[in-house]
Structure 1
Amino acid sequence: MIHVRPAHDLDARDMAAILNAVIEIGGTTAMTHPIDAQYFIDRMNAEREVSSWLVAEKPDGEIVGFQWVTRGGEYLPPEAAEIATFAKPGQQGLGIGSKLMEATKAAAKRLGYTWINANIRADNESGLTYYQSRGFEDYGRIEGVRMANGQVVDKVLKRYDLT
Protein backbone atom coordinates (compact mmCIF):
# COMPACT_ATOMS: atom_id res chain seq x y z
CA MET A 1 0.00 0.00 0.00
CA ILE A 2 1.27 3.45 -0.92
CA HIS A 3 1.08 6.28 1.63
CA VAL A 4 1.35 9.96 0.63
CA ARG A 5 2.63 12.61 3.01
CA PRO A 6 4.23 16.06 2.88
CA ALA A 7 7.90 16.01 1.93
CA HIS A 8 10.51 17.41 4.29
CA ASP A 9 14.22 18.12 4.15
CA LEU A 10 15.15 14.57 5.19
CA ASP A 11 13.40 13.26 2.05
CA ALA A 12 15.56 15.35 -0.28
CA ARG A 13 18.27 12.72 -0.74
CA ASP A 14 15.75 10.07 -1.81
CA MET A 15 13.96 12.54 -4.07
CA ALA A 16 17.26 13.48 -5.72
CA ALA A 17 18.12 9.80 -6.24
CA ILE A 18 14.77 9.18 -7.96
CA LEU A 19 15.08 12.25 -10.17
CA ASN A 20 18.69 11.46 -11.07
CA ALA A 21 17.68 7.93 -12.10
CA VAL A 22 14.97 9.41 -14.34
CA ILE A 23 17.44 11.93 -15.80
CA GLU A 24 19.95 9.15 -16.49
CA ILE A 25 17.35 7.11 -18.40
CA GLY A 26 16.50 10.23 -20.42
CA GLY A 27 13.54 11.30 -22.49
CA THR A 28 10.99 12.05 -19.80
CA THR A 29 12.11 15.19 -17.99
CA ALA A 30 13.26 18.64 -19.05
CA MET A 31 16.08 18.31 -16.55
CA THR A 32 19.24 16.98 -18.16
CA HIS A 33 21.89 17.25 -15.43
CA PRO A 34 21.98 15.46 -12.07
CA ILE A 35 20.91 17.39 -8.99
CA ASP A 36 21.68 16.94 -5.31
CA ALA A 37 19.56 16.93 -2.17
CA GLN A 38 20.31 20.60 -1.52
CA TYR A 39 18.42 21.49 -4.72
CA PHE A 40 15.20 20.15 -3.17
CA ILE A 41 15.88 21.58 0.27
CA ASP A 42 16.43 25.03 -1.21
CA ARG A 43 13.33 24.86 -3.43
CA MET A 44 11.02 23.51 -0.74
CA ASN A 45 12.11 26.19 1.71
CA ALA A 46 12.04 29.06 -0.80
CA GLU A 47 8.61 28.13 -2.19
CA ARG A 48 6.90 27.02 1.01
CA GLU A 49 4.13 29.65 0.85
CA VAL A 50 3.17 28.90 -2.78
CA SER A 51 3.86 25.19 -3.15
CA SER A 52 3.08 21.68 -1.99
CA TRP A 53 5.69 18.92 -2.01
CA LEU A 54 4.49 15.36 -1.46
CA VAL A 55 6.20 11.98 -1.34
CA ALA A 56 4.75 8.52 -1.89
CA GLU A 57 6.20 5.81 0.29
CA LYS A 58 5.79 2.11 0.86
CA PRO A 59 4.90 0.76 4.33
CA ASP A 60 8.61 0.25 5.07
CA GLY A 61 9.28 3.97 4.44
CA GLU A 62 10.90 3.58 1.01
CA ILE A 63 10.12 6.67 -1.07
CA VAL A 64 8.95 5.56 -4.49
CA GLY A 65 7.72 8.83 -5.97
CA PHE A 66 7.09 12.49 -5.41
CA GLN A 67 5.09 15.37 -6.84
CA TRP A 68 4.99 19.09 -6.39
CA VAL A 69 2.88 22.05 -7.43
CA THR A 70 4.22 25.55 -7.23
CA ARG A 71 3.59 29.01 -8.62
CA GLY A 72 3.72 28.85 -12.40
CA GLY A 73 6.22 31.61 -13.02
CA GLU A 74 6.10 34.41 -15.55
CA TYR A 75 4.20 32.62 -18.30
CA LEU A 76 1.24 31.50 -16.18
CA PRO A 77 -1.33 33.62 -14.34
CA PRO A 78 -1.16 33.70 -10.51
CA GLU A 79 -4.15 31.34 -10.19
CA ALA A 80 -2.24 28.57 -12.01
CA ALA A 81 0.18 26.12 -10.45
CA GLU A 82 2.91 24.19 -12.27
CA ILE A 83 3.14 20.45 -11.53
CA ALA A 84 5.95 17.90 -11.70
CA THR A 85 5.70 14.18 -10.99
CA PHE A 86 8.40 11.52 -10.65
CA ALA A 87 8.20 7.81 -9.85
CA LYS A 88 11.13 5.59 -9.05
CA PRO A 89 12.01 3.62 -12.19
CA GLY A 90 10.57 0.13 -11.98
CA GLN A 91 7.90 1.16 -9.48
CA GLN A 92 5.30 2.49 -11.92
CA GLY A 93 1.87 0.89 -11.87
CA LEU A 94 1.59 0.66 -8.08
CA GLY A 95 -0.86 3.56 -7.76
CA ILE A 96 1.87 6.07 -6.91
CA GLY A 97 0.70 8.67 -9.42
CA SER A 98 -2.97 8.29 -8.54
CA LYS A 99 -2.39 8.73 -4.82
CA LEU A 100 -0.05 11.69 -5.35
CA MET A 101 -2.48 13.42 -7.73
CA GLU A 102 -5.41 13.23 -5.32
CA ALA A 103 -3.36 14.75 -2.51
CA THR A 104 -1.83 17.36 -4.82
CA LYS A 105 -5.22 18.52 -6.13
CA ALA A 106 -6.42 19.10 -2.56
CA ALA A 107 -3.19 20.93 -1.67
CA ALA A 108 -3.39 23.12 -4.77
CA LYS A 109 -6.94 24.16 -3.85
CA ARG A 110 -5.83 25.00 -0.29
CA LEU A 111 -3.06 27.17 -1.77
CA GLY A 112 -5.68 29.10 -3.76
CA TYR A 113 -4.91 27.80 -7.24
CA THR A 114 -7.82 27.26 -9.65
CA TRP A 115 -5.97 25.20 -12.24
CA ILE A 116 -2.79 23.16 -12.69
CA ASN A 117 -0.47 23.32 -15.69
CA ALA A 118 1.62 20.37 -16.83
CA ASN A 119 4.44 21.24 -19.22
CA ILE A 120 5.47 17.90 -20.76
CA ARG A 121 8.06 16.95 -23.36
CA ALA A 122 6.22 15.88 -26.51
CA ASP A 123 8.41 12.77 -26.69
CA ASN A 124 7.49 11.74 -23.13
CA GLU A 125 4.71 9.27 -23.92
CA SER A 126 4.38 8.00 -20.35
CA GLY A 127 4.08 11.55 -18.98
CA LEU A 128 1.51 12.54 -21.60
CA THR A 129 -0.50 9.40 -20.83
CA TYR A 130 -0.24 9.93 -17.07
CA TYR A 131 -1.58 13.48 -17.13
CA GLN A 132 -4.24 12.65 -19.74
CA SER A 133 -5.47 9.78 -17.55
CA ARG A 134 -5.78 12.18 -14.61
CA GLY A 135 -8.10 14.51 -16.54
CA PHE A 136 -5.59 17.03 -17.88
CA GLU A 137 -6.51 18.42 -21.30
CA ASP A 138 -4.22 19.74 -24.03
CA TYR A 139 -4.37 23.50 -24.44
CA GLY A 140 -1.12 24.45 -26.14
CA ARG A 141 2.25 23.49 -27.51
CA ILE A 142 5.67 25.10 -27.39
CA GLU A 143 7.85 24.15 -30.33
CA GLY A 144 11.62 23.98 -30.50
CA VAL A 145 12.58 24.19 -26.82
CA ARG A 146 16.35 23.88 -26.39
CA MET A 147 17.26 21.76 -23.39
CA ALA A 148 20.33 22.39 -21.23
CA ASN A 149 22.15 19.58 -23.05
CA GLY A 150 21.45 21.13 -26.47
CA GLN A 151 18.65 18.76 -27.47
CA VAL A 152 15.61 20.44 -29.04
CA VAL A 153 12.15 19.14 -28.13
CA ASP A 154 8.56 20.31 -28.32
CA LYS A 155 6.49 20.70 -25.16
CA VAL A 156 2.80 19.87 -24.74
CA LEU A 157 0.84 22.04 -22.32
CA LYS A 158 -1.95 20.32 -20.39
CA ARG A 159 -4.43 21.88 -18.00
CA TYR A 160 -6.48 20.54 -15.10
CA ASP A 161 -9.24 22.78 -13.71
CA LEU A 162 -9.67 22.50 -9.94
CA THR A 163 -13.04 24.21 -9.78
Structure 2
Amino acid sequence: MMQQIYPQVQHPFQFELNKDMHIAAAHYIPHEDAGKCQKVHGHTYFVNITIAGDELDESGFLVNFASLKKLIHNRFDHSLLNEHTDLFSDKDSNYFPTTEGVARAIYEVIQKDLNTKENKPKCVQVFVRETPTSYVVFRPKNKEEQV
Protein backbone atom coordinates (compact mmCIF):
# COMPACT_ATOMS: atom_id res chain seq x y z
CA MET A 1 0.00 0.00 0.00
CA MET A 2 1.22 3.42 -0.90
CA GLN A 3 1.06 5.89 1.96
CA GLN A 4 2.32 9.33 1.17
CA ILE A 5 1.52 12.83 2.24
CA TYR A 6 0.69 15.14 -0.64
CA PRO A 7 0.63 18.92 -0.81
CA GLN A 8 -2.85 20.22 -0.07
CA VAL A 9 -4.76 22.41 -2.48
CA GLN A 10 -7.30 24.94 -1.22
CA HIS A 11 -10.71 24.76 -2.86
CA PRO A 12 -14.28 25.76 -2.00
CA PHE A 13 -15.87 22.32 -2.50
CA GLN A 14 -17.53 20.03 0.07
CA PHE A 15 -16.07 16.78 -1.22
CA GLU A 16 -12.50 15.89 -2.11
CA LEU A 17 -11.28 12.51 -3.29
CA ASN A 18 -7.77 11.32 -3.94
CA LYS A 19 -6.78 8.39 -6.11
CA ASP A 20 -3.27 6.91 -5.98
CA MET A 21 -1.83 4.70 -8.70
CA HIS A 22 1.46 3.43 -10.09
CA ILE A 23 2.26 3.73 -13.77
CA ALA A 24 5.24 1.91 -15.27
CA ALA A 25 6.16 3.80 -18.42
CA ALA A 26 9.10 4.76 -20.59
CA HIS A 27 9.95 8.10 -22.14
CA TYR A 28 12.76 10.20 -23.51
CA ILE A 29 13.25 13.95 -23.49
CA PRO A 30 14.08 15.18 -27.03
CA HIS A 31 16.46 17.98 -26.06
CA GLU A 32 20.25 18.12 -25.73
CA ASP A 33 20.03 19.65 -22.23
CA ALA A 34 18.27 16.50 -21.01
CA GLY A 35 21.60 14.64 -20.86
CA LYS A 36 21.10 10.91 -20.28
CA CYS A 37 17.35 11.44 -20.33
CA GLN A 38 17.56 11.90 -24.12
CA LYS A 39 17.71 8.11 -24.29
CA VAL A 40 14.65 5.92 -23.79
CA HIS A 41 14.37 4.96 -20.13
CA GLY A 42 11.60 4.05 -17.73
CA HIS A 43 10.11 4.94 -14.38
CA THR A 44 7.49 3.64 -12.04
CA TYR A 45 5.54 6.85 -11.62
CA PHE A 46 3.51 7.36 -8.45
CA VAL A 47 0.46 9.44 -9.28
CA ASN A 48 -2.07 11.07 -6.97
CA ILE A 49 -5.14 12.73 -8.48
CA THR A 50 -7.25 15.14 -6.40
CA ILE A 51 -10.83 15.76 -7.49
CA ALA A 52 -13.31 18.03 -5.72
CA GLY A 53 -16.96 18.94 -6.06
CA ASP A 54 -20.21 19.66 -4.27
CA GLU A 55 -22.56 17.15 -5.88
CA LEU A 56 -22.48 13.35 -5.91
CA ASP A 57 -23.58 11.39 -8.96
CA GLU A 58 -26.61 9.08 -9.07
CA SER A 59 -24.45 6.24 -7.68
CA GLY A 60 -23.46 8.33 -4.65
CA PHE A 61 -19.91 8.96 -5.90
CA LEU A 62 -18.15 12.21 -6.60
CA VAL A 63 -16.25 10.11 -9.17
CA ASN A 64 -15.91 6.34 -9.28
CA PHE A 65 -12.31 5.40 -8.40
CA ALA A 66 -12.35 2.62 -11.01
CA SER A 67 -13.13 5.11 -13.79
CA LEU A 68 -10.06 7.16 -12.87
CA LYS A 69 -7.85 4.08 -12.99
CA LYS A 70 -9.30 3.13 -16.37
CA LEU A 71 -8.70 6.64 -17.77
CA ILE A 72 -5.10 6.94 -16.63
CA HIS A 73 -3.56 3.60 -15.71
CA ASN A 74 -5.00 1.69 -18.63
CA ARG A 75 -3.90 4.40 -21.03
CA PHE A 76 -0.33 5.04 -19.87
CA ASP A 77 0.88 1.93 -18.02
CA HIS A 78 3.55 -0.04 -19.91
CA SER A 79 3.69 2.46 -22.74
CA LEU A 80 6.22 4.81 -24.31
CA LEU A 81 4.83 8.20 -23.34
CA ASN A 82 6.31 9.89 -26.42
CA GLU A 83 4.00 7.77 -28.58
CA HIS A 84 0.93 9.48 -27.06
CA THR A 85 1.17 12.19 -29.72
CA ASP A 86 -2.24 13.60 -28.81
CA LEU A 87 -0.66 14.74 -25.51
CA PHE A 88 3.09 14.93 -26.09
CA SER A 89 5.37 16.35 -28.77
CA ASP A 90 9.00 15.88 -29.78
CA LYS A 91 9.03 19.40 -31.28
CA ASP A 92 7.32 21.69 -28.73
CA SER A 93 9.14 21.83 -25.37
CA ASN A 94 5.87 22.72 -23.63
CA TYR A 95 4.67 19.23 -24.54
CA PHE A 96 7.77 17.10 -23.92
CA PRO A 97 6.97 14.13 -21.64
CA THR A 98 8.87 15.55 -18.68
CA THR A 99 7.41 15.01 -15.22
CA GLU A 100 5.76 18.41 -15.59
CA GLY A 101 4.32 17.43 -18.96
CA VAL A 102 3.07 14.10 -17.62
CA ALA A 103 1.28 15.82 -14.73
CA ARG A 104 -0.36 18.32 -17.10
CA ALA A 105 -1.37 15.58 -19.56
CA ILE A 106 -2.98 13.52 -16.78
CA TYR A 107 -4.91 16.62 -15.69
CA GLU A 108 -6.11 17.26 -19.26
CA VAL A 109 -7.30 13.67 -19.75
CA ILE A 110 -9.14 13.65 -16.43
CA GLN A 111 -10.73 17.08 -16.69
CA LYS A 112 -11.96 16.37 -20.23
CA ASP A 113 -13.78 13.32 -18.86
CA LEU A 114 -15.07 15.17 -15.77
CA ASN A 115 -16.55 17.87 -18.00
CA THR A 116 -18.98 15.26 -19.37
CA LYS A 117 -20.38 14.39 -15.93
CA GLU A 118 -23.65 15.89 -14.71
CA ASN A 119 -22.29 16.60 -11.21
CA LYS A 120 -19.34 18.56 -12.73
CA PRO A 121 -16.46 17.56 -10.41
CA LYS A 122 -13.13 19.35 -10.95
CA CYS A 123 -9.60 18.02 -10.98
CA VAL A 124 -7.81 20.43 -8.65
CA GLN A 125 -4.38 18.77 -8.42
CA VAL A 126 -2.22 16.10 -10.02
CA PHE A 127 0.88 14.90 -8.16
CA VAL A 128 3.46 12.87 -10.12
CA ARG A 129 6.52 11.35 -8.44
CA GLU A 130 9.06 10.23 -11.03
CA THR A 131 11.79 9.08 -8.63
CA PRO A 132 12.01 8.71 -4.85
CA THR A 133 13.50 12.23 -4.65
CA SER A 134 11.67 14.11 -7.44
CA TYR A 135 8.05 15.05 -7.97
CA VAL A 136 5.85 17.64 -9.65
CA VAL A 137 2.48 19.08 -8.62
CA PHE A 138 0.21 20.42 -11.35
CA ARG A 139 -2.73 22.66 -10.50
CA PRO A 140 -4.87 24.35 -13.16
CA LYS A 141 -4.06 28.04 -13.32
CA ASN A 142 -7.47 29.21 -14.47
CA LYS A 143 -9.51 29.52 -11.27
CA GLU A 144 -12.66 29.60 -13.39
CA GLU A 145 -12.11 25.92 -14.19
CA GLN A 146 -12.16 25.04 -10.49
CA VAL A 147 -15.35 26.81 -9.45
Instruction: Mark yes or no: TM-score above 0.5.
Output: no
TM class by smaller structure: 0.3 to 0.5
**TM-score, normalized by length of structure 2?**
0.32
TM-score of the aligned structures, taking structure 1 as reference length? 0.30
Higher relative CO (Cα under 8 Å, sequence separation at least 6) belongs to 2
